[in-house]
Amino acid sequence: MKRLVAYYSLTGNTEEAAKKIAKALDADLLRLETIKDMPKSFAARMIVGGGQVAFKHIPKLKPIDVDIDSYDEIVLGSPIWNSKGVPAVNAFLTDKTAATKVTSLFFSSGGGKVQKGLNAITKLLPNLKYTVSLLDRKHEDSRDNDAKIEGFINSLKS
């Protein structure tokens, strides 16, 4: 089975998990990037990112250099912002082929309140089978992330 791990990461949390998952599954890795970068400062990121989420902004992505059709399955990684999915991931999922190939989702949050964001994303994923919720590495309970990732990978391998 040919797999792709596609992800968006602003601060590196989702990227860290994506790399672990891709390595364990011998999958290709695709970082989703918007044409317009987010601001550097945390406060500006909160304002801009929060506004994009609130207004359901769909940004333009940098060109994707892989053939989505060549993959049997996509494992998707996303942070949760303001209890919702992030605009870059929503932009990726406008490609119905990509959305159909996503069977697994891993997501990270700073506070653990992810259900609303998960509900929003899963509506776009008709073949979703597996999910795992991770916490920002600054969160006190993030020490459980590696065990959660291992369980997620084992589910995908079975």
pLDDT in tens, 61-103: 899 999 999 999 999 998 887 666 788 888 899 899 999 999 9
- When pLDDT is cut at 50, 70 and 90, the band that residue 52 belongs to is low
- pLDDT of 144: 86
How many CA atoms within 13 Å lie on the side-chain side of 152? 26
pTM, whole model, 2 decimals?
Answer: 0.87
Strands 102-109 and 84-85: unpaired
Measured between alpha carbons, how far is 36 from 127 in angstroms, rounded to an integer? 30
